[in-house]
C-alpha cells in the first residue's frame, strides 16, 4: 500500500501544467492529499496571501478593521491556493483541495465561535468568580449596584435554580419516562396520538410555556409568581424533551431480548422492569440529564413565571425566586459595568452547571459502550 | 409413525392432562396494572401538553372578537390606545429567523461535512460531543456573547455591506449614509441582522447534529465504489454523501428554523423595540413575537393578555408546521425503527 502511493505521488507531480496525468487509467489517485507537495503549496499560499492582503488592505486600499482583514486574507488564500495547485494538478484535484479548504475553514469558524463564547464568558467573569463571597452571599449583600465585587454574590440564584430544577425534575421524570414506556412497550393506536402530540410539543417556544403558566396558574388559579410556578413552566419544557429522548432510547432495545424474556414465561411488566429498563438504564438517565441541562438554562419561562429577587428564598410557593439565567438577564439589562461583570460571573457558574450535567450524561453513555 | 421415546421416569403413568396447554390471551393481573398504569400516564401527559396548545388556541376567540381581523393587519402594538396588531411582529419574527438560517445553513452543512468526512476517526467523537455541548450552552450566555463581543464588530460589517450594496433595497439603512460627513453608527445598532447572527449560533448545532447523523449513514460500499471509480474525496461527497443526506440537510435546516422562530432572550436583549413594518434588516429596531410577549405581559389588561396569548398561538402554529415537516423529512431519510438481534 505504501509503495503504491509513493509510486503514484511523484507521477502526479510530474504530470506538468497540462495535468492530464491524473486521468490516465493505470495510475491510482491519491485520496488523502498529505504529500509534501500539498503542505508546501498550503504553507506558501498562506504566507503569500498574508503578504498580499497586508499590502493591499493596510497600505493601498481604503479599508480598516480586524475582521475585514482576516476575511480578506481567507479569500485571498483560497485564490492563491487554487492558482498554485492549478499550476501542477488538473481541475479535479484543484476543486478537491479548494473544497477541503472551504469545509475546514467553515468548521474552524464554528469552532472559533464556540471557543470564543466559552472563553469570553470566563474572561469577563473571572473578576467576579475568583472571590469566594460570590458563592456564599446572596445578591442582597451587595446593596448598591456599585458595591465592589468583594461584597455579595449569587448564592440566592444558585439555590433558586437548584430548587426549581429539582421540582421540575421530580414532576417530569416519572411522567416523561412513563410516557416513553407506554409509547414503546404498550403501543396501539392511542399511543400514536400521544407520540404525535409529544413531538409537536417539543416545538413549543420557551416563552409560551412561561406565558401559559402565568395565565393559567398565576392569574386564573391565584398562585403567586414563585419558584413553584417557574418549576412548572420548566417541566412543561422538559417533559416533551425527556419523553422523546427516552422514546428513542427504548426503541433501540433489541426486540430479541424482549422476546427471550417473554418466551421464558415472564409477564410483560417483569420484562419491562427486569430486561428493558436495565438494558437501557444509562440511556434513560442521559435523557433525563439532557432535559435538565436544557431546563436550567431557560430564561424566558422563569422571567415570566417567577420574576427577580435579590434575597435567598427557600420556600418555592411564596415570593419570587431568583435563578441563574434570570440573574444574568437582570445584570445585563442594568447597564452598570460592575453589575455586568457579576452577570458574566453568573454566566460562568451557569456554564459550569450545564457542563457538569452534560459530562454526567456523557459518562453514563460511555459506561454503556464500555460494558458491551 | 415411530414410537415416541418417553423421557419421564419409568413407572410414572401418562398424566391426565396430555392436552396441549392453552395459550391464554388474557393478561395477568400485574400486566393489566402495568398496561393501565402506563396508559394513564400517557393520557395524562397528553392532557397536560394538549391543554397548553388548546388553551393558547382558545384565546384567538376573544381576541378576534375584541380586535377583529385587523389584529392580523395592524402593525402597531399600543397598549395605551388599545390598538393591537401583529403584522409587524409576524414579519419581524420571520425576518430574524430567516437571517439566522441564511447564516447558519452553510456553516452547519460544512461543519457536518467536516466532522463526517474530513476528521480523522480518533477526533470524531470529541468533535461530535463539542457540537452537543454547543447545543447545551444556554441561550442567555449566547446573548451576552452577542451583546458584548459580537455587536461592536457586527456594526462595522453592517456598515460595510450598506456602503457597497446599499443600492439594493434590502441593504438600505435610513440615516446610515456611510459617505456622509458625520457617520451615524447608531443606525446600525441593535438590528435584526445582528440578532439573527447571534440566533444562528444557537441553531447551528441543532442543524449540524441532524445532518451529521444522516451523513454518517451514507453506505460505506457506495463511498468505496466512488473511490474505486477514481473519484476524489470531494467527488465522493458530491456523488454519494450529499444526495444520500438530502433529507437530513433539509430536515435539519427546518428544525433549526423552527427553533429560530421561537427564540426569545437573544432577541429581547439585542433588538431594540420598533413596530414599523420595514424590510431593512441592517437598520436599528424590530420586533418578534417572543420579544413582544416578554415586553408586554407584565402591564397587559386581561383582554390584552388574551391578545398576547393569541399572538403566541400564531407563533406556536408556525413552529409546529415547520417542525412537523422537518420531522417527516428526517424520518423518511432514515430506516429501521427497531433494532433486531
Burial A138-166, CB ≥16 within 10 A → b, else e: bbebbeeeeeebeebbbbbbbbbbebbbe
B339 has pLDDT over 50: no
Which helix H or strand E contains B142, and what residues bound it?
helix B139-145
Q: Is A220 buried (19+), middle (13-18) or exposed (0-12) by CB count in 10 A?
A: exposed
B284 has pLDDT over 80: no
Instruction: List the one residue out of A96, A79, A74, A73 whose CA is nearest residue A22.
Output: A96
**Distance in angstroms between the alpha carbons of the first and the last residue of chain B:** 37
Contact B45 A243 (CB under 8 A): yes
pLDDT band at residue A117 under the 50/70/90 scheme:
very high
More confident residue, A164 or B3: A164
Q: Which three cell numbers stand for residue B306?
A: 388574551
Domain B60-332 adopts which CATH fold? MetI-like fold (1.10.3720)
Contacts of A240 in chain B (CB under 8 A): 49
The per-residue DSSP string of B198-261 comes to HHHHHHHHHHHHHHHHHHHTS-HHHHHHHHHTT--HHHHIIIIIHHHTHHHHHHHHHHHHHHHH
Instruction: List the one residue out of B149, B135, B138, B270 whose CA is nearest residue A349.
Output: B138
Q: What does the angle CA B104 – CA B108 – CA B110 come to, to the nearest 5 degrees? A: 125
Hey, how many other C-beta atoms are within 10 angstroms of the C-beta on B338?
Answer: 11
Question: Which chain B residue lies closest to A257 (C-alpha atoms)?
Answer: B341
B105 has pLDDT over 90: yes
Output the pLDDT for position A16.
38
pLDDT band at residue A42 under the 50/70/90 scheme:
confident
Cβ atoms of residues B140 and A347 within 8 Å:
yes
Contacts of B297 in chain A (CB under 8 A): 211, 214, 304
Cβ atoms of residues B250 and B273 within 8 Å:
no
Cell 416563552 appears where?
Answer: A207
Mean pLDDT, to the nearest integer, of B67-96?
Answer: 80
Output the pLDDT for position A114.
92
Cβ atoms of residues A179 and A192 within 8 Å:
no
Q: Which three cell numbers stand for residue B31?
A: 400486566
Taking a contact as any Cβ pair under 8 Å apart, which residues of chain B between 247 and 286 contact chain A? 258, 261-265, 268-269
Which whole-number Å values give the CA distances from B270 to A170, A211, B140, B149, in the listed order?
34, 21, 11, 12
Mean pLDDT, to the nearest integer, of A7-13?
Answer: 38
Partners of B83 in beta bridges: B78
Contacts of A202 in chain B (CB under 8 A): 323
Backbone φ/ψ region at B286: left (φ over 0), alpha (ψ -120 to 50), beta: left
Partners of B78 in beta bridges: B83
The per-residue DSSP string of A59-80 comes to IISS---HHHHHHHHHHHHHHH
Taking a contact as any Cβ pair under 8 Å apart, which residues of chain B between 177 and 216 contact chain A? 201, 204, 208
Q: List all residues 6 or more positions away from B7 whose beta carbon is below 8 Å from its beta carbon.
A: none
Backbone φ/ψ region at A89: left (φ over 0), alpha (ψ -120 to 50), beta: beta
Instruction: Look up residue B78 and give its DSSP letter.
Output: E
Q: Which three cell numbers stand for residue A187?
A: 403501543
- Asked if B243 reaches chain A (Cβ–Cβ under 8 Å), the answer is no
Domain A155-371 adopts which CATH fold? MetI-like fold (1.10.3720)
Nearest by CB to A329, which of B52, B108, B140?
B140
Instruction: List the one residue out of A149, A147, A118 whose CA is nearest residue A134.
Output: A149
CA atoms within 13 A on the CB side of B40: 7
Mean pLDDT, to the nearest integer, of B117-138?
Answer: 87
**SS3 assignment, position A29:** coil
Nearest by CB to B56, which of A120, A212, A303?
A212
Contact B308 A211 (CB under 8 A): yes
Gap between the Cα atoms of B337 and A117, Å rounded? 37
Nearest by CB to A198, which of B49, B157, B315?
B49
Nearest by CB to A178, which of B41, B133, B142?
B41
CA atoms within 13 A on the CB side of B254: 19
Of A20-29, A275-284, B51-60, minimum mean pLDDT range: A20-29
Gap between the Cα atoms of B10 and B12, Å rounded? 6
Instruction: List the one residue out of B304, B201, B327 whose CA is nearest residue B254.
Output: B327
Instruction: List the one residue out of A205, A216, A184, A353 whose CA is nearest residue A284.
Output: A184
Which whole-number Å values give the CA distances from A320 to A234, A349, B5, B55, B321, in the listed order?
15, 21, 80, 25, 35
Torsion from C-alpha of B217, B218, B221, B226, nearest 10 degrees: -160
Contact B327 A354 (CB under 8 A): no
Contacts of A270 in chain B (CB under 8 A): 30
Contact A203 B232 (CB under 8 A): no
Question: Which chain A residue lies closest to B203 (C-alpha atoms)?
Answer: A110
pLDDT averaged over chain A? 80
Cβ atoms of residues A224 and A317 within 8 Å:
yes
Gap between the Cα atoms of A293 and A284, Å rounded? 14
Q: List all residues 6 or more positions away from B79 whose beta carbon is below 8 Å from its beta carbon.
A: B296, B299, B300, B301, B304
pLDDT band at residue A144 under the 50/70/90 scheme:
low
Gap between the Cα atoms of A186 and B28, Å rounded? 15
Nearest by CB to B290, which of A109, A124, A207?
A207
Mean pLDDT, to the nearest integer, of A169-177?
Answer: 90
The per-residue DSSP string of A281-298 comes to HHHHHHHHHHHHHHHHT-
B170 has pLDDT over 80: no
Nearest by CB to B139, which of A114, A203, A297?
A297
Question: Which chain A residue lies closest to B300 (C-alpha atoms)?
Answer: A215
Report the Cα A120 to chain-centroid distance in Å: 16
Burial A96-135, CB ≥16 within 10 A → b, else e: bbbbbbbbbebbeebbebbeebbebbbebbeebbebeebe
Taking a contact as any Cβ pair under 8 Å apart, which residues of chain B between 64 and 103 contact chain A? none
Contact A212 B52 (CB under 8 A): yes
Nearest by CB to A208, which of B45, B133, B316?
B316
More confident residue, B37 or B27: B37
Question: Which chain A residue lies closest to B305 (C-alpha atoms)?
Answer: A215
Radius of gyration of chain A (CA): 29
Instruction: List the one residue out of A216, A237, A240, A223 whose CA is nearest residue A302.
Output: A237
Of A32-41, A357-366, B80-89, B304-313, minimum mean pLDDT range: A32-41
B129 has pLDDT over 50: yes
More confident residue, B109 or B217: B109
Mean pLDDT, to the nearest integer, of A218-247?
Answer: 86
Output the pLDDT for position B328.
80
Contacts of B107 in chain A (CB under 8 A): 106, 109-110
Output the pLDDT for position A37.
78
pLDDT averaged over chain B? 80
Torsion from C-alpha of B95, B100, B103, B106, nearest 10 degrees: -120
pLDDT band at residue A372 under the 50/70/90 scheme:
very low
Question: Which chain B residue lies closest to A182 (C-alpha atoms)?
Answer: B38
Domain spans in chain B, listed from the N-terminal domain onward: 60-332
Domain spans in chain A, listed from the N-terminal domain onward: 2-120, 155-371
Amino acid at each position: 500500500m505504501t509503495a503504491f502511493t509513493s509510486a503514484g505521488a511523484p507521477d502526479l507531480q510530474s504530470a506538468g501544467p497540462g495535468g492530464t496525468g491524473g486521468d490516465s487509467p493505470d495510475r491510482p489517485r491519491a485520496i488523502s492529499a498529505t504529500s509534501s507537495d500539498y503542505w508546501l503549496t498550503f504553507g506558501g499560499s498562506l504566507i503569500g496571501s498574508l503578504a498580499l492582503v497586508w499590502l493591499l488592505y493596510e497600505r493601498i486600499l481604503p479599508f480598516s478593521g480586524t475582521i475585514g482583514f482576516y476575511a480578506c486574507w481567507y479569500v485571498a488564500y483560497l485564490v492563491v491556493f487554487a492558482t498554485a495547485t492549478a499550476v501542477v494538478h488538473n481541475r479535479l484535484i484543484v476543486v478537491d483541495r479548494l473544497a477541503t479548504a472551504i469545509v475546514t475553514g467553515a468548521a474552524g469558524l464554528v469552532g472559533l465561535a464556540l471557543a470564543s463564547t466559552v472563553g469570553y464568558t470566563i474572561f469577563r467573569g473571572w473578576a467576579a468568580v475568583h472571590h469566594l463571597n460570590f458563592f456564599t452571599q446572596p445578591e442582597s449583600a451587595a446593596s448598591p449596584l456599585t458595591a465592589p465585587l468583594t461584597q455579595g454574590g449569587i448564592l440566592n440564584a444558585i439555590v433558586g435554580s437548584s430548587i426549581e430544577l429539582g421540582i421540575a425534575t421530580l414532576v417530569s421524570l416519572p411522567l416523561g419516562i412513563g410516557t416513553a414506556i407506554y409509547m414503546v412497550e404498550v403501543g396501539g393506536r392511542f399511543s400514536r396520538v400521544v407520540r404525535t402530540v409529544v413531538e409537536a410539543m417539543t416545538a413549543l417556544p420557551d416563552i409560551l410555556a412561561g406565558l401559559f403558566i402565568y395565565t393559567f396558574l398565576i392569574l386564573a388559579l391565584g398562585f403567586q409568581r414563585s419558584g413553584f410556578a417557574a418549576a412548572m413552566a420548566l417541566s412543561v419544557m422538559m417533559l416533551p424533551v425527556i419523553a422523546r429522548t427516552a422514546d428513542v432510547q427504548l426503541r433501540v432495545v433489541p426486540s430479541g431480548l424482549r422476546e427471550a424474556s417473554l418466551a421464558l414465561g415472564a409477564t410483560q411488566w417483569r420484562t419491562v422492569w427486569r430486561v428493558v429498563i436495565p438494558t437501557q438504564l444509562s440511556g434513560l438517565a442521559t435523557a433525563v440529564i439532557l432535559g435538565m441541562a436544557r431546563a436550567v438554562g431557560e430564561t424566558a419561562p422563569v422571567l415570566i413565571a417567577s420574576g427577580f429577587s435579590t434575597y435567598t428564598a427557600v420556600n418555592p410557593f411564596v415570593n419570587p425566586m431568583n435563578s441563574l439565567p434570570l440573574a444574568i438577564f437582570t445584570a445585563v439589562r442594568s447597564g452598570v459595568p460592575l453589575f455586568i461583570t457579576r452577570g458574566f460571573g453568573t454566566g460562568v457558574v451557569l456554564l459550569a452547571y450545564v457542563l457538569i450535567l452534560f459530562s454526567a450524561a456523557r459518562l453514563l453513555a460511555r459506561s454503556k459502550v464500555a460494558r458491551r | 409413525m415411530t414410537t415416541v421415546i418417553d423421557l419421564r421416569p419409568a413407572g410414572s403413568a401418562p398424566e391426565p392432562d396430555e392436552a396441549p396447554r392453552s395459550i391464554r390471551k388474557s393478561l395477568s393481573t400485574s400486566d393489566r396494572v402495568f398496561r393501565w398504569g402506563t396508559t394513564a400516564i400517557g393520557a395524562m401527559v397528553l392532557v397536560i401538553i394538549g391543554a397548553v396548545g388548546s388553551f393558547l388556541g382558545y384565546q384567538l376567540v376573544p381576541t378576534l372578537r375584541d380586535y377583529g381581523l385587523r389584529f392580523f393587519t395592524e402593525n402597531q402594538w399600543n397598549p395605551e390606545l388599545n390598538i393591537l396588531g401583529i403584522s409587524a411582529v409576524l414579519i419581524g419574527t420571520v425576518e430574524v429567523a430567516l437571517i439566522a438560517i441564511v447564516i447558519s445553513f452553510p456553516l452547519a452543512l460544512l461543519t457536518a461535512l467536516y466532522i463526517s468526512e474530513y476528521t480523522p476517526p480518533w477526533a470524531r467523537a470529541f468533535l461530535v460531543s463539542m457540537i452537543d455541548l454547543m447545543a447545551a450552552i444556554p441561550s442567555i450566555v449566547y446573548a451576552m456573547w452577542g451583546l458584548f463581543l459580537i455587536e461592536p464588530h457586527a456594526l462595522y460589517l453592517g456598515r460595510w455591506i450598506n456602503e457597497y450594496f446599499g443600492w439594493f433595497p434590502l441593504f438600505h439603512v435610513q440615516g446610515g449614509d456611510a459617505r456622509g460627513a458625520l457617520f451615524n453608527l447608531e443606525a446600525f445598532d441593535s438590528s435584526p441582522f445582528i440578532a439573527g447572527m447571534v440566533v444562528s449560533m444557537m441553531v447551528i448545532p441543532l442543524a449540524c447534529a441532524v445532518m451529521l447523523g444522516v451523513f454518517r449513514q451514507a453506505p460505506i460500499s457506495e463511498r468505496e465504489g466512488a473511490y474505486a471509480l477514481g473519484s476524489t474525496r470531494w467527488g465522493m461527497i458530491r456523488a454519494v454523501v450529499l444526495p444520500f443526506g438530502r433529507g437530513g440537510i433539509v430536515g435539519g435546516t427546518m428544525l433549526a428554523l423552527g427553533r429560530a422562530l421561537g427564540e426569545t432572550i437573544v432577541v429581547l436583549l439585542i433588538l431594540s423595540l420598533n413596530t414599523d413594518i420595514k424590510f431593512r434588516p441592517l437598520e436599528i429596531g424590530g420586533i418578534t413575537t417572543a420579544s413582544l410577549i416578554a415586553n408586554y405581559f407584565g402591564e397587559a389588561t386581561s383582554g390584552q393578555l388574551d391578545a398576547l396569548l393569541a399572538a403566541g398561538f400564531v407563533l406556536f402554529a408556525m413552529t409546529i408546521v415547520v417542525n412537523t415537516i422537518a420531522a417527516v423529512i428526517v424520518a423518511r431519510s432514515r430506516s429501521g425503527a427497531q433494532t433486531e438481534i
